[in-house]
Structure 1
Amino acid sequence: MSTDRAGGKPVQGEPVVDRAFALLHAFSDAEPVLSAADLSRASGVPLSTTYRLVARLVAWGALERRPDGRYTVGLGLLEIASLAPRGHGLREIAMPYLGDLADATRQHVLLAVREDDEAVLVERLSFRDAEPIHYRVGGRMPLHSTGVGLVLLAHADVETQERLLHRRLTRQPEGEPVDVTALRSTLAEVRRDGVAELHRGSPRPVLAVAGPVWDGRDRCTAALSVVVSDGSVSARHLVPAVRAACRAISRALGAPRAEGRPDTTTTDPVDST
């Protein structure tokens, strides 16, 4: 990254807002606390500029300064992020149905939206005894190797699908290569069946059953999934519950297809196998 001009202004093509966001994106699950020097190294922003921008971000509440002089993400960002309609607004509408699904399954219930080539988790409800998973609200997940991701990818535009399918894809965290032909077939099945079933063996065997949430313009605006320890619950018992929750949220969002599709759910409880 180029150095500052005299007077401290960024060179052309490097707006201050880009540098500020580069600093914010330096934080991660692995490194939630960083010094100014850490931020400079991770973002490529010169140290002198980092000090100046960090001071402004602290003043706005986007960062918080700890007693040891290092920084964390501030609550000011949470205030702004809570206004995102695809995050908080969707979550507010979906919460009653997510709660019902969590009560019925006593496992993990996830709600995610697509952001470019990844899924972003906007809500997660988890029972205490459910198998541990590492997804966090606000975290990003791969589209090609998660239950919610497969649903979002299956209903994404063709350009997005082809861009992703032409990459060298690996399952995370296993690191195994993905068979793109098999993935195309899986996406077709998701569109046909209305649900995705994903079995994962690492780091722990889990099963995810996911379905689409439709908005008032008949777009797949989100995906919902239940994640359980593989073998603890049959997918055939989870599918009706997931479909019912997806339909209820879609109906609340005014989705035409929420009423137009035949009701394929049952009233059977979620049973263990």
Structure 2
Amino acid sequence: MIDRALTILGTFNGGRGRQSLSDISRRTGLPIATCFRIVQRLTEWGALERDGESKYRIGLRLWEVASLAPRSVGLQRLARPYMQDLYETTGYSSHLAIREGLELVSIERFQSPRRTDKRPLVGGRYPLHVTAIGQVLLANAPPEVQDEVLSGELEAVTPRTYADGDQLRGVLADIRLNGYAVSDRQADDVHTGVAAPVRAADGRVIAAVSLALTQADIDGKNMIHLVRLTATSISRALATAHFDEGSD
């Protein structure tokens, strides 16, 4: 029962904010009668809410529980003013992410309302090898995590995406040496990402911050400097606040 309930909640990832009961049944592979029974219980508890069109969305009570997670929410709260300043200074989208297993999880972003591409979605999960922010997190991940990612299938999202494990391993070494990553149109054909690590007081990389630049307006050195400065400022704020991934 618990596994099925978690599977149902998991279908709301990837930007699916509202789903019908038949949508949930199809995506979970569960019979619609079983889905109905579990969805009703989740709705009664407040994990899901049903709107006027008989579609379901994540409920307020689940959001309240999630807001107690210090690893994302505490970090997000401390980083937000620095990210907003980076966004307002440059005019480009700023993004904050952490690593969870073999993926990155987006926990905050500032983005122009004129930008039609709404990715990354806050709460969304993405591969580590494609973007600058993911490459920073992967470069500073434990060796066993790097080995598992590099030995697996590396999807080529664009012709520029690093899809060869040996090539990417060399890139990760350069990222650790230089303290930043640049991903030139590896996630799409328009944007170049610049990212830098956010460190805890003991020096561990616990997150990364990035800018998504357009090719026409890149001032590479200046943008790298601003992203690294922002990451350093967030790291100092974490140290001052005595931030701990296991406490709020």
Shift in Å, 1:114: 0.5
Superposition pairs of residues 132-211 of structure 1, within 5 angstroms: 132-172=117-157, 178-200=163-185, 203-211=188-196
Shift in Å, 1:27: 2.4
Work out which structure has the larger RCO, using CA pairs closer than 8 Å and 6 or more positions apart in sequence: 2
Letter in 2 for 1:244: L
Shift in Å, 1:135: 1.1
Letter in 2 for 1:94: A
Superposition pairs of residues 53-132 of structure 1, within 5 angstroms: 53-129=38-114, 132=117
Letter in 1 for 2:112: F
**Matched-pair contact (CA < 8 Å) for 2:195–2:227:** yes
Q: CA RMSD in A?
A: 2.1
**Matched-pair contact (CA < 8 Å) for 2:139–2:175:** yes
Letter in 2 for 1:39: I
Letter in 2 for 1:17: I
3-state DSSP of counterpart to 1:254:
helix
Residue 35 of structure 1 corresponds to 20
Shift in Å, 1:221: 0.6
Aligned in 2, Cα 1:144/1:203: closer, same or farther, shift over 3 Å?
Answer: closer
The percent of aligned pairs where both chains have the same amino acid is 38
Distance 2:29 2:168 in 1: 36
Q: Deviations over 1:83-119 (max 9, x none)?
A: 2112111011111211221121111000000011111
| Greater helix content | 2
Shift in Å, 1:153: 0.1
Task: Decide which moves more: 200-209 or 228-237.
Answer: 200-209
* Structure 1 unmatched ranges of 5 or more: 1-15, 256-273
**Matched-pair contact (CA < 8 Å) for 2:99–2:105:** yes
Pair 1:224-2:209 in alignment: yes
Residue 236 of structure 2 corresponds to 251
Residue 4 of structure 2 corresponds to 19
Task: Decide which moves more: 246-255 or 125-134.
Answer: 125-134
Task: Decide which moves more: 205-214 or 131-140.
Answer: 131-140
Distance 2:74 2:42 in 1: 26
The structure with more radius of gyration: 1
* Structure 2 unmatched ranges of 5 or more: 241-248
Shift in Å, 1:21: 0.7
**Matched-pair contact (CA < 8 Å) for 1:107–1:130:** no
Q: Deviations over 1:189-222 (max 9, x none)?
A: 1000000011116644211110000112321110
